[in-house]
């Protein structure tokens, strides 16, 4: 099977897809699986799976794994299958406020290369595409990868993205509002382009390989220099009719509050992001502080840094309590850089959630309790999710 | 086919169900359909549908409709099919604060009987079951219906209901918290019991036969003496892990505000339900006013009544704006008794939504705009939805 064939398998958009494309997708999501397990997950007949696997193995897309504990089972041991990591590569791009980050991963989502390039503020989309192209070319050259093996490019944007790929207002990069991602990147990169909001990407990463593996329903809540999130229902990220679902940072918690960059007043983000606490930290320490600085100090026992994080958790928990009243999800994954504070942020956040939400954790038996946990991807969540976009085919444009 | 067979078709819980049960369900949801349309909707093969229809028609569950405009099409006209309204009946019950309402409908959801009985406040679950039983028996006797034709009973509760059928706290009937609906009603009624939150029931009614027909994703927002709602995603009501999804009335909009019946402070319901405006109306008019009284006066041009409704719409719109930032739904259906005010409530509500939500209607092309509309079922929404529960098999207990 050629790269073109694999690319077409991954980009098969029909509701169910061919047996081959369904197998490739489920393998890229789940990692190693037996043929029986593939049949269970996809709901396809064993015979259909077997037939498709013959072709996929012959073409080298799927390989047999060495099964170390085969001796344990009676009878013929189940053969474990995996995607051939040499079968193709994916690129994930994050379009940030003052930088562009690019990751290259194989179809088994092992990271081959990660790069970051700082840019002037308000860089243009055309410049982003050109810089991304150069970064991708360099990554492929440095790692002796064939660029023909590039299956698709996932792009993560700090702001709502419509199902058609238009960046909406309230983006972290305001000059991009109204820009169509596909129209900008496709002519330059000449590969299938998949775009998504950064929090939706983060949710995909947590769902495919992180804190939400095996969970079909959860909420991702990001606390960073902005506040954002994503809602996953039955394994699908809810995008909303215009791409605006999961914009937790823009819930109006004080209609007469300060003006937000989105044009509304008193948005949760103003109070629950770490921008204001950072300004306080700068003043206290007489130098420019980063979130990592404050988190480190808090972990070392600095009471002021601890309190800044706790106060943020307190108000974030109030917002999260409202999300609980609306969604009552089984799982809430805390993402964003502030999640690196671990229990210092998690404990007051859970306490505040419990205080403000309707269905109290203490009233529920274990199975009906909302679990709140720290995400696994707090540093490169959007990039890994952008790779996941390519593999899962979420947010396909056009 | 016997009643028992039809009952078992309706209560088939397997993921997809038999072809017969899938056809019965889709017919009860959609009304009249051709065989080709059934195949399209269910995704089953034409031949599978044809085979199943032979049995369903022979047994009298499904009947052929007279097709008035058959002459219009060239070739053999498509036969239109419908459920035989004599094939069975469903009961919908609403458990209210001071009353119980019971509706009897046939499988084509035509209402045969509707009854209401006032009860003392804080009536017990056992008394509710006993009263419901008597009301059902009377309805069947008065309409010469065979009680053996009763397929199932749907029960709508004013409060969150867990997926297992337990009434949660914050119910309008606080003494019922912790009660399991099925355990109360099944021994007395001796029929399959399906239970759901009243707003979730209302959403089912709007989806099956009302303002959300053909819409797989929408939000129902109820304004009445309480504030509640439901979220429908891909045709399924989101229940939440403990039955607490869609509890819009209990979003904390003022953490230092008045105490709510749920035990939290400053819930949206305190400000956006019509309880406080009614108290003002009582005082202004020197008599006990109902929501209908105020709505009627507003429609007749009474500026005070109009203002009470507008102020309610204003704050409800703020809450709805937050729901918009979280879900960005394609459609919001306004339900509850206050929806009877029509444009008097809808216009200020939309204005306030637009002011407070992130994705502004004015910024979006038609196809990506959130549509906000008045529901079709504002009077018996929960009852019709409870009937819908039986037909759709949502919220099945146990």
Each residue's pLDDT tens digit, B90-101: 999 999 888 999
Q: What per-residue confidence (pLDDT) applies to B205?
A: 92
pLDDT above 90 covers a percentage of chain A that reads: 58
Bigger pLDDT: B20 vs A258: A258
Q: What mean pLDDT, rounded, does chain A reach? A: 87
Query: How is residue A200 written in tokens?
Result: 């939706």
The whole-angstrom distance between A22's CA and the closest CA on chain B is 18
Between B169, B252, B368, which is nearest A322 by CB?
Answer: B252
**Residue of chain B whose Cα is closest to the Cα of A365:** B242
Q: What per-residue confidence (pLDDT) applies to A114?
A: 95
Going by pLDDT thresholds of 50, 70 and 90, the confidence category of residue B76 is low
In this prediction, residues A272-287 reach a mean pLDDT of: 97
CB-based contact B358 A244, cutoff 8 Å: yes
A-B interface: how many C-beta pairs under 8 angstroms?
Answer: 147
- Say how far apart CA B354 and CA B347 lie, in whole Å: 11
Going by pLDDT thresholds of 50, 70 and 90, the confidence category of residue A86 is confident
In this prediction, residues A176-185 reach a mean pLDDT of: 90
- Say how far apart CA B75 and CA B58 lie, in whole Å: 26
The whole-angstrom distance between A356's CA and the closest CA on chain B is 7
Bigger pLDDT: B12 vs A237: A237
**Residue of chain A whose Cα is closest to the Cα of B322:** A251
Q: What per-residue confidence (pLDDT) applies to B75?
A: 56
Global ipTM = 0.83
**Residue of chain B whose Cα is closest to the Cα of A367:** B241
- Say how far apart CA B97 and CA B180 lie, in whole Å: 17
CATH 1.10.10.10 fits domain A3-86: yes
Q: What per-residue confidence (pLDDT) applies to A74?
A: 55
Determine which of A241-250, B83-92, B121-130, B168-177 has the lowest per-residue pLDDT on average: B168-177
CB-based contact A160 B243, cutoff 8 Å: no
- Using a CB-CB distance cutoff of 8 angstroms, which residues of chain A are in contact with residue B220? none
pLDDT at A215 exceeding the cut of 70:
yes
Q: What per-residue confidence (pLDDT) applies to A168?
A: 82
Between A241, A251, A253, which is nearest B330 by CB?
Answer: A241
Range with the largest mean pLDDT of A205-209, A314-318, B235-239 = A314-318
- Using a CB-CB distance cutoff of 8 angstroms, which residues of chain A are in contact with residue B243? 328, 359
What fold is seen in the domain A88-203? Answer: Nucleotidyltransferase; domain 5 (3.30.420)
- Using a CB-CB distance cutoff of 8 angstroms, which residues of chain A are in contact with residue B245? 326-328
pLDDT at B121 exceeding the cut of 90:
no
- Give the pLDDT confidence of B237-280 residue by residue, as tens digits: 999 999 999 999 999 999 999 999 889 999 999 999 999 999 99
In this prediction, residues B150-164 reach a mean pLDDT of: 89
Q: What per-residue confidence (pLDDT) applies to A15?
A: 36
Bigger pLDDT: B313 vs A13: B313
- Say how far apart CA B262 and CA B260 lie, in whole Å: 5
pLDDT above 70 covers a percentage of chain A that reads: 89
* Number of Cβ atoms within 10 Å of the Cβ of A343: 11
CB-based contact A322 B318, cutoff 8 Å: no
Going by pLDDT thresholds of 50, 70 and 90, the confidence category of residue A394 is very low
Specify the CATH number of the domain B211-375: 3.30.420.40
Query: A168, A233, A325, A360: which to substitute to probe chain B, counting the most B Cβ within 10 Å?
Result: A325
Alpha helices (runs of H) in chain B, residue ranges in sequence order: 3-10, 19-30, 35-42, 46-58, 125-142, 181-189, 198-209, 268-272, 275-285, 291-299, 303-327, 343-356, 381-392
CB-based contact B359 A236, cutoff 8 Å: no
CB-based contact B325 A231, cutoff 8 Å: no
CB-based contact A262 B358, cutoff 8 Å: yes
pLDDT above 90 covers a percentage of chain B that reads: 58
**Residue of chain A whose Cα is closest to the Cα of B370:** A241
- Say how far apart CA B350 and CA B324 lie, in whole Å: 12
- Do the domains A211-375 and A88-203 match in fold? yes
pLDDT at B69 exceeding the cut of 60:
no
pLDDT at A69 exceeding the cut of 70:
no
Specify the CATH number of the domain B89-203: 3.30.420.40
CB-based contact B363 A324, cutoff 8 Å: no
Bigger pLDDT: A17 vs A209: A209
Bigger pLDDT: B396 vs B242: B242
- Using a CB-CB distance cutoff of 8 angstroms, which residues of chain B are in contact with residue A369? 241-242
Query: How is residue A34 written in tokens?
Result: 């037996």
The whole-angstrom distance between B31's CA and the closest CA on chain A is 26
Range with the largest mean pLDDT of A328-337, A361-370, B187-196 = A328-337
**Residue of chain A whose Cα is closest to the Cα of B220:** A326
Bigger pLDDT: B393 vs B168: B168
Between B163, B325, B356, which is nearest A247 by CB?
Answer: B325
- Say how far apart CA A198 and CA A97 lie, in whole Å: 12
Going by pLDDT thresholds of 50, 70 and 90, the confidence category of residue B78 is confident
Determine which of B108-122, B123-137, B171-185 has the lowest per-residue pLDDT on average: B171-185
From the list B346, B351, B344, the residue with the least C-alpha distance to B374 is B346
CB-based contact A327 B238, cutoff 8 Å: yes
Q: What per-residue confidence (pLDDT) applies to B65?
A: 78
pLDDT at A16 exceeding the cut of 50:
no
**Residue of chain B whose Cα is closest to the Cα of A242:** B368
Q: What per-residue confidence (pLDDT) applies to B56?
A: 82
Give domain limits for chain B.
Answer: 3-86, 89-203, 211-375
Going by pLDDT thresholds of 50, 70 and 90, the confidence category of residue B9 is low
CB-based contact A359 B217, cutoff 8 Å: no
pLDDT at B70 exceeding the cut of 80:
no
- Using a CB-CB distance cutoff of 8 angstroms, which residues of chain A are in contact with residue B238? 233, 327
Determine which of A127-131, B357-361, B391-395 has the lowest per-residue pLDDT on average: B391-395
- Say how far apart CA A33 and CA B327 lie, in whole Å: 35
Between B255, B322, B368, which is nearest A162 by CB?
Answer: B368
- Say how far apart CA A157 and CA A201 lie, in whole Å: 9
- Using a CB-CB distance cutoff of 8 angstroms, which residues of chain B are in contact with residue A368? 162-163, 241-242
Q: What per-residue confidence (pLDDT) applies to B379?
A: 81
Q: What mean pLDDT, rounded, does chain B reach? A: 87
In this prediction, residues A90-97 reach a mean pLDDT of: 91
Going by pLDDT thresholds of 50, 70 and 90, the confidence category of residue A6 is low
Q: What per-residue confidence (pLDDT) applies to A397?
A: 29
Query: B358, B364, B367, B368: which to substitute to probe chain A, counting the most A Cβ within 10 Å?
Result: B358
CB-based contact A234 B234, cutoff 8 Å: yes
pLDDT at B73 exceeding the cut of 60:
no
CB-based contact B252 A170, cutoff 8 Å: no
- Using a CB-CB distance cutoff of 8 angstroms, which residues of chain A are in contact with residue B239? 328
Bigger pLDDT: B26 vs B53: B53
Q: What is the CA radius of gyration of chain A?
A: 22
- C-alpha torsion angle, residues B244, B248, B250, B256 (rounded to 10): 150
Spell out the residues 6+ positions from residue A112 whose beta carbon is closer than 8 angstroms to its own: A89, A104, A105, A106, A139, A143, A145
Q: Residue B34: left if φ>0, alpha if ψ -120 to 50, beta else—which one? A: beta
- Using a CB-CB distance cutoff of 8 angstroms, which residues of chain A are in contact with residue B369? 241-242
Q: How far is CA A95 from the centre of its chain?
A: 13
- Using a CB-CB distance cutoff of 8 angstroms, which residues of chain A are in contact with residue B363? 168-169
pLDDT at B2 exceeding the cut of 90:
no
The whole-angstrom distance between A380's CA and the closest CA on chain B is 24
Between B241, B245, B368, which is nearest A368 by CB?
Answer: B241
Spell out the residues 6+ positions from residue A147 whose beta carbon is closer than 8 angstroms to its own: A136, A137, A140
In this prediction, residues A3-31 reach a mean pLDDT of: 63
In this prediction, residues A61-68 reach a mean pLDDT of: 72
Residue B69 sits at φ, ψ, to 5 deg, of: -110, 30
The whole-angstrom distance between A133's CA and the closest CA on chain B is 31
* Number of Cβ atoms within 10 Å of the Cβ of A82: 16
- Using a CB-CB distance cutoff of 8 angstroms, which residues of chain B are in contact with residue A351? none
CB-based contact A231 B327, cutoff 8 Å: yes
The whole-angstrom distance between A78's CA and the closest CA on chain B is 27
pLDDT at A122 exceeding the cut of 90:
no
**Residue of chain B whose Cα is closest to the Cα of A15:** B43
């Amino acid at each position: 099977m050629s790269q073109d064939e694999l690319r077409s398998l991954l980009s098969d958009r029909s509701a169910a897809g061919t047996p081959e494309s369904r197998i490739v997708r489920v393998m890229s999501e789940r990692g190693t699986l037996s043929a029986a397990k593939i049949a269970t997950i996809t709901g396809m007949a064993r015979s259909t799976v077997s037939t498709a696997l013959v072709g996929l193995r012959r073409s080298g897309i799927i390989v047999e794994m060495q099964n170390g504990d085969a001796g344990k089972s009676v009878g013929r041991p189940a053969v474990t299958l995996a995607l051939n990591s040499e079968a193709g590569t994916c690129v994930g791009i994050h379009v940030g406020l003052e930088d562009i980050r690019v990751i290259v991963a194989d179809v088994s989502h092992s990271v081959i290369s990660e790069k970051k390039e700082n840019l002037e503020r308000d860089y243009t989309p055309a410049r982003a595409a050109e810089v991304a192209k150069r970064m991708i070319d360099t990554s492929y050259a440095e790692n002796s990868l064939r660029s023909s093996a590039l299956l698709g490019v996932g792009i993560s944007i700090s702001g709502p993205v419509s199902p058609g790929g238009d960046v909406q207002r309230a983006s972290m990069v305001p000059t991009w509002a109204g820009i169509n991602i596909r129209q900008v990147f496709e002519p330059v990169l000449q590969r299938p382009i998949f775009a998504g909001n950064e929090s939706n990407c983060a949710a995909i990463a947590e769902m495919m390989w992180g804190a939400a593996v095996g969970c079909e329903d959860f909420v991702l809540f990001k606390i960073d220099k902005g506040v954002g999130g994503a809602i996953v229902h039955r394994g699908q990220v809810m995008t909303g009719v215009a791409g605006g679902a999961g914009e937790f940072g823009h819930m109006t918690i004080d209609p007469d509050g300060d003006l937000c960059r989105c044009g509304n007043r008193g948005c949760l983000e103003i109070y629950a992001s770490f921008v204001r606490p950072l300004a306080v930290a700068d003043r206290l320490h007489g130098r420019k502080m980063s979130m990592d600085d404050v988190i480190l100090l808090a972990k070392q026992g600095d009471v002021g840094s601890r309190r800044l994080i706790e106060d943020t958790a307190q108000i974030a928990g109030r917002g999260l309590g409202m999300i609980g009243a609306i969604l009552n999800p089984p799982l809430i994954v805390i993402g964003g850089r502030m999640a690196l504070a671990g229990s210092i942020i998690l404990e007051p956040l859970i306490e505040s959630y419990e205080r403000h939400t309707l269905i109290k954790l203490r009233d529920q038996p274990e199975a009906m309790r909302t679990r709140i946990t720290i995400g696994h991807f707090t540093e490169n969540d959007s990039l890994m999710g952008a790779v996941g976009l390519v593999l899962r085919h979420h947010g396909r444009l056009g």
